[in-house]
């Protein structure tokens, strides 16, 4: 059963009608034993109350037992009352679950700037506390969906020196998605036993190479959180440097798969842009150019319309702030060279390009000719559906 959670973990979900009736919008991940925590958070200065709570737990360095997640309300920009509501939820749930309040992590997603409806929380927490039992990743994932078109989860087994362990990732995210870090909630759990410092390090490395390299709309949200819980229930420890490498690689691969799903499900998106920049002065410059292209409304709408208007890509490179000599810059679109050393080439390939642009995955390769720097980015296109979804998100 590939979608089974790692050993020692169970999940549950209930419907609270935080935003809409009749669908699960409150979920829990519960571990039968203490977990080592790794985590990364949004860089938005208005980080939501639940993000502040998780940051404190991470800083304290203790073990954790549960994650409670809700959709429909972000509990962001809610000041002291928002924080007090988090602490109330932790206390109540802790008593019901028989664990400590500071062993419970909170993550939230939804409308910014509204206080929690605590009546709904108080009514549903007892049901939530009784809900864990499922070993399936999908139920929890569905409870944290907002504008997501499909639930995003993946599992894989990793053979370490001492035996096999499992990694499961469950994520939400469709809009407000931009690097630093990709706007979303994400939970990665494993039954491997991993030392805290190494777990955090492999987490940060994996996130920087995956979630921090995607963009849907350039908006970085108040609630971005990625949590990693390792509970050791498999009895298998990541003990050698070869084990670390294996687990680290598996984590990067599974997060990359999830990050792709995020972009694929970008709000109103029909295509995934695979942007690579090479020959930049340095990696930072390459990332700057890639983001400028990936966030350009004009590039995104052109790709949406299947229009090979490659000049807009060069234009976005040109205002990105990157250092480059225009006479050295080149561009391949869908594998076809259209710009070489500052001049258009292959004008006769327009029809072939139009054919290529009908595909779901679009490759954009930019050559700057200024140095060894390179970077990549996954981006969504921009269509009518994005506007429809976001012009009446709250109503």
Q: Which residues are catalytic?
A: 183
Site for a second copy in 202-221 (CB under 8 A): 217-221
Task: Please tell me whether residue 324 binds a second copy under the rule CB under 8 A.
Answer: yes
What's the CA gap between 343 and 320, in Å, rounded?
A: 19
CB of 297 to a second copy, least distance (A): 4
Q: Which two tokens stand for residue 280?
A: 């930049």
What's the CA gap between 136 and 2, in Å, rounded?
A: 9
What's the CA gap between 155 and 271, in Å, rounded?
A: 25
Contacts of 223 (CB under 8 A, 6+ apart): 42, 47, 48, 50, 51, 74, 76, 107, 108, 109, 183, 185
CB of 237 to a second copy, least distance (A): 39
Task: Please tell me whether residue 263 binds a second copy under the rule CB under 8 A.
Answer: no
State which of residues 56, 164, 240, 388 lies at the interface with a second copy (CB under 8 A): 388
Widest CA span of the chain, in angstroms?
A: 70
State which of residues 319, 348, 351, 360 lies at the interface with a second copy (CB under 8 A): 319
- Considering only the stretches 227-235, 238-246, 292-300, 359-367, report the one whose residues sit in contact with a second copy under the rule CB under 8 A: 292-300
**Given the DSSP bridges, would you call strands 361-367 and 330-333 parallel, antiparallel or unpaired?**
antiparallel
CB of 390 to a second copy, least distance (A): 4
What's the CA gap between 212 and 101, in Å, rounded?
A: 31
Whichever of 101 and 345 has its CB closer to a second copy, that residue is 345
- Considering only the stretches 23-31, 271-279, 280-288, 341-349, report the one whose residues sit in contact with a second copy under the rule CB under 8 A: 341-349
What's the CA gap between 350 and 371, in Å, rounded?
A: 30
> Is 142 in contact with 13 (CB distance < 8 Å)?
yes
Task: Please tell me whether residue 302 binds a second copy under the rule CB under 8 A.
Answer: yes
> Is 190 in contact with 165 (CB distance < 8 Å)?
yes
CA distances from 61 to 105, 107, 169 (A): 13, 18, 22
Site for a second copy in 32-61 (CB under 8 A): 42-47
Within 10 angstroms of residue 363's Cβ, the number of other Cβ atoms is 16
Site for a second copy in 146-185 (CB under 8 A): 175-176, 178, 180
- Measure the N-to-C terminal CA separation of the chain; round to a whole number of Å: 39
Task: Please tell me whether residue 118 binds a second copy under the rule CB under 8 A.
Answer: no
State which of residues 187, 322, 334, 366 lies at the interface with a second copy (CB under 8 A): 322
- Considering only the stretches 5-13, 62-70, 255-263, 317-325, report the one whose residues sit in contact with a second copy under the rule CB under 8 A: 317-325
CA distances from 197 to 37, 56, 117, 379 (A): 10, 17, 37, 32
Task: Please tell me whether residue 116 binds a second copy under the rule CB under 8 A.
Answer: no
CA distances from 361 to 328, 334, 358, 364 (A): 27, 9, 9, 10
Whichever of 21 and 319 has its CB closer to a second copy, that residue is 319
Binding mask 357-386 for a second copy (x = CB under 8 A): -------------------------xxx-x
Task: Please tell me whether residue 305 binds a second copy under the rule CB under 8 A.
Answer: yes
State which of residues 296, 370, 375, 380 lies at the interface with a second copy (CB under 8 A): 296
Site for a second copy in 60-89 (CB under 8 A): 74, 76-81
Whichever of 221 and 264 has its CB closer to a second copy, that residue is 221
Task: Please tell me whether residue 113 binds a second copy under the rule CB under 8 A.
Answer: yes
Task: Please tell me whether residue 338 binds a second copy under the rule CB under 8 A.
Answer: yes
Task: Please tell me whether residue 317 binds a second copy under the rule CB under 8 A.
Answer: yes
CB of 79 to a second copy, least distance (A): 3
CB of 323 to a second copy, least distance (A): 8
337 CB burial (10 A radius; 0-12, 13-18, 19+): middle
């Amino acid at each position: 059963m590939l979608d089974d959670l790692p050993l020692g973990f169970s999940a549950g979900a209930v419907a609270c009608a935080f935003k809409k009736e009749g669908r699960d919008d409150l979920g829990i991940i519960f571990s039968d034993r203490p977990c080592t925590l790794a985590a990364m958070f949004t860089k938005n200065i208005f980080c939501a109350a639940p993000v502040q709570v998780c940051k404190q737990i991470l800083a304290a360095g203790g073990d954790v037992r549960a994650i409670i997640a809700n959709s429909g309300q972000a509990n962001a920009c809610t000041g002291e009352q928002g924080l007090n509501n988090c602490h109330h939820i932790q206390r109540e749930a802790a008593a019901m679950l028989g664990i400590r309040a500071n062993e419970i992590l909170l993550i939230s997603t939804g409308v910014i700037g509204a206080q929690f409806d605590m009546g709904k929380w108080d009514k549903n927490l007892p049901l939530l506390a009784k809900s864990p039992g499922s070993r399936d990743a999908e139920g929890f994932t569905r409870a944290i969906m907002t504008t997501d078109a499909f639930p995003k989860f993946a599992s894989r087994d990793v053979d370490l020196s001492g035996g096999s362990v499992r990694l499961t990732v469950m994520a939400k995210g469709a809009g407000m998605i931009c690097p630093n870090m990709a706007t979303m909630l994400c939970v990665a759990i494993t039954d491997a036993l991993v030392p805290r410092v190494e777990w955090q390090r492999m987490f940060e490395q994996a996130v920087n190479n995956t979630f921090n390299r995607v963009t849907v709309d350039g908006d970085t949200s108040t609630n971005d959180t990625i949590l990693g819980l390792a509970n050791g229930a498999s009895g298998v420890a990541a003990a050698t440097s070869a084990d670390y490498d294996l687990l680290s690689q598996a984590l990067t691969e599974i997060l990359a798969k999830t990050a792709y799903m995020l972009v694929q499900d970008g709000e109103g998106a029909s295509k995934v842009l695979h942007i690579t920049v090479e020959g930049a002065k340095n990696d930072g410059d390459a990332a700057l150019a890639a983001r400028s292209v990936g966030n350009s409304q004009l590039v995104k709408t052109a790709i949406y319309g299947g229009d090979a208007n490659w000049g807009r890509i060069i234009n976005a490179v040109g205002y990105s702030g990157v250092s480059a000599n225009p006479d050295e810059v080149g561009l391949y679109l869908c594998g076809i060279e259209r710009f070489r050393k500052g001049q258009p080439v292959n004008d006769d390939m327009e029809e072939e390009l139009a054919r290529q642009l009908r595909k779901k995955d679009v490759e954009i390769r930019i050559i700057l000719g200024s140095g060894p720097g390179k970077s990549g980015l996954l981006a969504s296109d921009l269509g009518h559906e994005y506007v429809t979804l976001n012009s009446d998100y709250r109503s």
